Amino acid sequence: MSFAITILGSSGALPQHGRYTSAQWLEIEGTHMLIDCGEAAQMQIKRYDLSLSKIDYIFISHLHGDHYLGLPGVLFTLHLLKRTKPLHIFGLQGLDEIITIQLKYSKSHLNYPLFFHTLNPEKTTDLILDEDKFTVTSFPLNHKIPTCGFLFKEKIKPYRIDKDKLNKEVSLQAIAQFRQGNDFMLEGGKILAYQDYTLPPKRSRNYAYCSDTAYHLPIVETIKEVDLLYHEATFINEDLDKAIETKHSTALQAAEIAKKANVKKLLLGHFSARYKDLQVIEAEAKTIYPHSALAIDGETFTIEE
Protein backbone atom coordinates (compact mmCIF):
# COMPACT_ATOMS: atom_id res chain seq x y z
CA MET A 1 0.00 0.00 0.00
CA SER A 2 1.09 3.56 -0.69
CA PHE A 3 3.11 5.78 1.62
CA ALA A 4 4.28 8.67 -0.55
CA ILE A 5 5.24 12.33 -0.17
CA THR A 6 4.99 14.73 -3.12
CA ILE A 7 6.80 18.05 -2.80
CA LEU A 8 4.53 20.93 -3.82
CA GLY A 9 6.79 23.72 -2.59
CA SER A 10 10.39 23.79 -1.35
CA SER A 11 11.29 27.47 -1.26
CA GLY A 12 11.78 29.57 1.85
CA ALA A 13 9.99 32.85 2.44
CA LEU A 14 10.00 33.85 -1.24
CA PRO A 15 8.95 31.86 -4.31
CA GLN A 16 12.07 31.93 -6.46
CA HIS A 17 13.98 30.06 -9.19
CA GLY A 18 10.92 27.97 -10.11
CA ARG A 19 10.42 26.92 -6.50
CA TYR A 20 7.24 27.65 -4.55
CA THR A 21 6.70 28.09 -0.83
CA SER A 22 6.24 25.22 1.60
CA ALA A 23 3.63 22.56 0.90
CA GLN A 24 3.66 18.79 0.72
CA TRP A 25 1.11 16.14 -0.21
CA LEU A 26 1.20 12.95 1.85
CA GLU A 27 -0.74 9.78 1.11
CA ILE A 28 -0.86 6.91 3.59
CA GLU A 29 -2.85 3.93 2.33
CA GLY A 30 -5.60 5.96 0.71
CA THR A 31 -5.71 8.83 3.22
CA HIS A 32 -4.62 12.14 1.64
CA MET A 33 -3.08 14.97 3.65
CA LEU A 34 -1.65 18.41 3.01
CA ILE A 35 1.32 19.49 5.14
CA ASP A 36 1.70 23.26 5.13
CA CYS A 37 0.00 25.26 2.41
CA GLY A 38 2.10 27.94 0.75
CA GLU A 39 0.39 30.36 -1.63
CA ALA A 40 0.77 28.22 -4.79
CA ALA A 41 -0.34 24.96 -3.17
CA GLN A 42 -3.55 24.39 -5.11
CA MET A 43 -1.89 25.28 -8.43
CA GLN A 44 0.85 22.76 -7.70
CA ILE A 45 -1.72 20.12 -6.72
CA LYS A 46 -3.33 20.55 -10.13
CA ARG A 47 0.02 20.66 -11.91
CA TYR A 48 1.10 17.32 -10.48
CA ASP A 49 -2.24 15.58 -11.16
CA LEU A 50 -3.30 15.25 -7.54
CA SER A 51 -6.95 15.52 -6.53
CA LEU A 52 -7.78 18.46 -4.26
CA SER A 53 -11.12 16.87 -3.42
CA LYS A 54 -9.37 13.88 -1.82
CA ILE A 55 -7.81 15.89 1.02
CA ASP A 56 -8.79 14.44 4.40
CA TYR A 57 -6.57 16.48 6.74
CA ILE A 58 -4.45 19.64 6.61
CA PHE A 59 -1.52 20.29 8.97
CA ILE A 60 -0.06 23.81 9.30
CA SER A 61 3.26 23.96 11.15
CA HIS A 62 3.16 27.65 12.08
CA LEU A 63 1.69 31.01 11.18
CA HIS A 64 4.36 32.55 8.97
CA GLY A 65 2.66 33.38 5.68
CA ASP A 66 4.81 31.17 3.47
CA HIS A 67 3.32 28.17 5.26
CA TYR A 68 -0.39 28.99 5.21
CA LEU A 69 -1.26 31.75 2.69
CA GLY A 70 -2.47 29.15 0.20
CA LEU A 71 -5.01 27.78 2.67
CA PRO A 72 -7.88 30.24 2.01
CA GLY A 73 -7.68 29.48 -1.71
CA VAL A 74 -7.80 25.74 -1.09
CA LEU A 75 -10.81 26.09 1.21
CA PHE A 76 -12.77 28.29 -1.22
CA THR A 77 -11.97 25.99 -4.15
CA LEU A 78 -13.24 22.98 -2.23
CA HIS A 79 -16.44 24.95 -1.63
CA LEU A 80 -16.80 25.65 -5.37
CA LEU A 81 -16.22 21.95 -6.05
CA LYS A 82 -19.28 21.21 -3.89
CA ARG A 83 -17.40 19.32 -1.22
CA THR A 84 -19.67 18.06 1.56
CA LYS A 85 -17.24 15.82 3.45
CA PRO A 86 -15.88 17.38 6.69
CA LEU A 87 -12.35 18.80 6.61
CA HIS A 88 -10.05 18.84 9.63
CA ILE A 89 -7.27 21.42 9.97
CA PHE A 90 -4.51 21.21 12.60
CA GLY A 91 -2.65 24.44 13.36
CA LEU A 92 -1.44 26.89 15.96
CA GLN A 93 -3.71 29.18 17.93
CA GLY A 94 -5.03 31.96 15.70
CA LEU A 95 -5.34 29.99 12.46
CA ASP A 96 -9.08 29.58 13.00
CA GLU A 97 -9.43 33.37 13.43
CA ILE A 98 -7.50 34.03 10.22
CA ILE A 99 -9.81 31.78 8.22
CA THR A 100 -13.13 32.64 9.87
CA ILE A 101 -12.61 36.40 9.47
CA GLN A 102 -12.14 35.90 5.73
CA LEU A 103 -15.32 33.86 5.59
CA LYS A 104 -17.12 36.53 7.62
CA TYR A 105 -16.22 39.53 5.45
CA SER A 106 -16.72 37.68 2.17
CA LYS A 107 -20.11 36.53 3.49
CA SER A 108 -19.16 32.98 2.60
CA HIS A 109 -20.73 29.84 4.02
CA LEU A 110 -18.81 26.69 3.10
CA ASN A 111 -20.71 23.67 1.81
CA TYR A 112 -18.76 21.41 4.14
CA PRO A 113 -18.07 21.30 7.91
CA LEU A 114 -14.68 22.76 8.82
CA PHE A 115 -13.05 21.68 12.07
CA PHE A 116 -10.00 23.38 13.60
CA HIS A 117 -7.72 21.53 16.03
CA THR A 118 -5.28 23.69 18.00
CA LEU A 119 -1.74 22.38 18.39
CA ASN A 120 0.10 22.66 21.68
CA PRO A 121 3.68 23.82 20.98
CA GLU A 122 4.65 23.31 24.62
CA LYS A 123 4.12 19.53 24.74
CA THR A 124 7.18 17.42 23.96
CA THR A 125 4.98 15.05 21.97
CA ASP A 126 1.23 15.29 21.45
CA LEU A 127 -0.93 12.67 19.73
CA ILE A 128 -3.20 14.78 17.53
CA LEU A 129 -4.73 12.17 15.21
CA ASP A 130 -5.43 8.48 15.73
CA GLU A 131 -6.60 6.83 12.50
CA ASP A 132 -7.23 3.13 11.89
CA LYS A 133 -3.90 2.63 10.12
CA PHE A 134 -1.67 5.44 11.40
CA THR A 135 -1.18 8.15 14.00
CA VAL A 136 0.04 11.75 13.80
CA THR A 137 2.03 13.30 16.63
CA SER A 138 3.10 16.93 16.89
CA PHE A 139 6.27 18.14 18.61
CA PRO A 140 7.80 21.59 19.20
CA LEU A 141 10.45 23.12 16.97
CA ASN A 142 12.63 26.17 17.71
CA HIS A 143 11.61 29.12 15.53
CA LYS A 144 10.76 32.81 15.97
CA ILE A 145 7.10 31.99 16.64
CA PRO A 146 5.47 28.80 17.99
CA THR A 147 6.09 26.04 15.46
CA CYS A 148 5.35 22.31 15.42
CA GLY A 149 6.79 19.40 13.55
CA PHE A 150 4.76 16.31 12.70
CA LEU A 151 5.46 12.59 12.93
CA PHE A 152 3.30 10.33 10.75
CA LYS A 153 3.55 6.72 11.90
CA GLU A 154 1.82 3.58 10.68
CA LYS A 155 0.37 1.29 13.32
CA ILE A 156 1.49 -2.32 13.66
CA LYS A 157 0.07 -4.19 10.69
CA PRO A 158 -1.85 -7.48 10.79
CA TYR A 159 -0.12 -10.80 10.37
CA ARG A 160 -0.12 -12.11 6.81
CA ILE A 161 -1.81 -15.41 6.11
CA ASP A 162 0.43 -18.12 4.66
CA LYS A 163 -1.93 -19.59 2.06
CA ASP A 164 0.26 -22.67 1.65
CA LYS A 165 -0.52 -23.65 5.26
CA LEU A 166 -4.32 -23.38 5.04
CA ASN A 167 -6.51 -26.49 5.24
CA LYS A 168 -10.14 -27.45 5.85
CA GLU A 169 -9.81 -26.82 9.59
CA VAL A 170 -9.09 -23.14 9.04
CA SER A 171 -12.32 -21.14 8.83
CA LEU A 172 -12.76 -17.48 7.94
CA GLN A 173 -13.24 -16.80 11.66
CA ALA A 174 -9.92 -18.48 12.38
CA ILE A 175 -8.16 -16.43 9.69
CA ALA A 176 -9.53 -13.22 11.23
CA GLN A 177 -8.05 -14.23 14.59
CA PHE A 178 -4.73 -15.26 13.09
CA ARG A 179 -4.36 -11.86 11.42
CA GLN A 180 -4.60 -10.25 14.88
CA GLY A 181 -2.01 -12.62 16.35
CA ASN A 182 -4.55 -14.77 18.20
CA ASP A 183 -4.90 -18.55 18.37
CA PHE A 184 -8.22 -20.17 17.45
CA MET A 185 -10.08 -22.95 19.26
CA LEU A 186 -12.04 -25.50 17.23
CA GLU A 187 -15.34 -26.94 18.53
CA GLY A 188 -13.65 -30.07 19.84
CA GLY A 189 -11.18 -28.01 21.85
CA LYS A 190 -8.21 -28.27 19.49
CA ILE A 191 -6.10 -25.11 19.38
CA LEU A 192 -4.82 -23.77 16.10
CA ALA A 193 -1.74 -21.65 16.79
CA TYR A 194 -1.59 -18.48 14.71
CA GLN A 195 2.17 -18.89 14.21
CA ASP A 196 1.53 -22.05 12.20
CA TYR A 197 -0.56 -20.22 9.61
CA THR A 198 0.94 -16.75 9.34
CA LEU A 199 3.88 -14.76 8.08
CA PRO A 200 5.24 -11.73 9.95
CA PRO A 201 3.41 -8.42 9.39
CA LYS A 202 4.78 -6.05 6.80
CA ARG A 203 6.83 -3.37 8.48
CA SER A 204 5.27 -0.14 9.66
CA ARG A 205 6.58 3.03 8.01
CA ASN A 206 7.01 6.58 9.31
CA TYR A 207 7.77 10.12 8.17
CA ALA A 208 8.87 13.15 10.18
CA TYR A 209 8.30 16.71 8.98
CA CYS A 210 10.42 19.44 10.56
CA SER A 211 9.61 22.80 9.01
CA ASP A 212 11.19 26.09 10.12
CA THR A 213 13.54 25.54 13.02
CA ALA A 214 16.94 26.39 14.36
CA TYR A 215 19.27 23.51 15.21
CA HIS A 216 17.24 21.80 17.92
CA LEU A 217 18.62 18.66 19.58
CA PRO A 218 15.47 17.84 21.63
CA ILE A 219 13.72 16.59 18.47
CA VAL A 220 16.23 13.76 18.00
CA GLU A 221 14.51 11.39 20.41
CA THR A 222 11.11 11.95 18.76
CA ILE A 223 12.29 11.35 15.19
CA LYS A 224 14.77 8.58 15.97
CA GLU A 225 15.18 5.99 13.19
CA VAL A 226 12.35 7.26 10.99
CA ASP A 227 12.31 6.08 7.39
CA LEU A 228 12.27 9.61 5.99
CA LEU A 229 13.01 12.94 7.65
CA TYR A 230 12.20 16.28 6.05
CA HIS A 231 14.28 18.96 7.76
CA GLU A 232 14.61 22.55 6.63
CA ALA A 233 18.00 23.60 5.29
CA THR A 234 17.48 27.26 4.50
CA PHE A 235 21.19 28.14 4.38
CA ILE A 236 24.63 26.63 3.97
CA ASN A 237 27.11 26.84 6.82
CA GLU A 238 28.88 29.75 5.16
CA ASP A 239 25.76 31.76 6.08
CA LEU A 240 25.45 30.42 9.61
CA ASP A 241 25.05 33.95 10.97
CA LYS A 242 21.87 34.33 8.91
CA ALA A 243 20.58 30.99 10.17
CA ILE A 244 21.14 32.05 13.78
CA GLU A 245 19.55 35.46 13.22
CA THR A 246 16.40 34.02 11.58
CA LYS A 247 16.20 30.80 13.65
CA HIS A 248 16.65 28.58 10.65
CA SER A 249 19.06 25.71 10.00
CA THR A 250 21.97 25.12 7.68
CA ALA A 251 22.29 22.00 5.55
CA LEU A 252 25.12 20.85 7.80
CA GLN A 253 22.94 21.22 10.90
CA ALA A 254 20.07 19.32 9.27
CA ALA A 255 22.48 16.53 8.43
CA GLU A 256 23.77 16.45 12.00
CA ILE A 257 20.22 16.01 13.28
CA ALA A 258 19.63 13.20 10.76
CA LYS A 259 22.85 11.49 11.78
CA LYS A 260 22.13 11.74 15.51
CA ALA A 261 18.60 10.42 14.97
CA ASN A 262 19.90 7.60 12.74
CA VAL A 263 17.17 8.20 10.14
CA LYS A 264 17.19 6.19 6.92
CA LYS A 265 16.97 9.18 4.57
CA LEU A 266 17.06 12.99 4.86
CA LEU A 267 15.12 15.41 2.68
CA LEU A 268 16.38 18.99 2.60
CA GLY A 269 14.03 21.89 1.90
CA HIS A 270 12.88 25.48 2.61
CA PHE A 271 15.73 26.87 0.52
CA SER A 272 16.70 30.53 0.70
CA ALA A 273 16.17 32.52 -2.50
CA ARG A 274 19.88 33.43 -2.39
CA TYR A 275 20.76 29.96 -3.73
CA LYS A 276 19.83 29.37 -7.33
CA ASP A 277 21.94 26.22 -7.56
CA LEU A 278 20.90 23.88 -4.76
CA GLN A 279 23.78 21.45 -5.25
CA VAL A 280 25.79 23.39 -2.66
CA ILE A 281 23.12 22.54 -0.07
CA GLU A 282 22.99 18.86 -0.95
CA ALA A 283 26.77 18.57 -1.12
CA GLU A 284 27.20 20.17 2.30
CA ALA A 285 24.72 17.78 3.93
CA LYS A 286 26.34 14.76 2.32
CA THR A 287 29.71 15.56 3.89
CA ILE A 288 28.38 14.10 7.14
CA TYR A 289 25.17 12.33 6.08
CA PRO A 290 25.38 10.60 2.67
CA HIS A 291 21.69 9.63 2.57
CA SER A 292 20.59 13.20 1.88
CA ALA A 293 18.47 14.48 -0.99
CA LEU A 294 16.87 17.71 -2.13
CA ALA A 295 13.11 18.14 -1.80
CA ILE A 296 12.52 19.45 -5.31
CA ASP A 297 9.07 20.69 -6.36
CA GLY A 298 7.19 17.94 -8.16
CA GLU A 299 9.27 15.02 -6.90
CA THR A 300 7.58 12.14 -5.09
CA PHE A 301 9.36 10.08 -2.42
CA THR A 302 7.88 6.66 -1.71
CA ILE A 303 8.55 4.71 1.46
CA GLU A 304 8.47 1.00 0.71
CA GLU A 305 7.06 -1.65 3.03
Catalytic positions, written as ranges: 66
Which residues, in sequence order, are bridge partners of residue 226? Answer: none
Antiparallel, parallel or unpaired: β 55-59 and 228-232: unpaired
State how far the Cα of 33 lies from the Cα of 4, in Å rounded to an integer: 11
Which residues, in sequence order, are bridge partners of residue 292? Answer: 266
State how far the Cα of 49 lies from the Cα of 174, in Å rounded to an integer: 42
The sign of the torsion formed by the CA atoms of 47, 84, 129, 134 equals negative
First to last CA, the chain: 8
Contact (CB, 8 A) for 148 and 141? yes
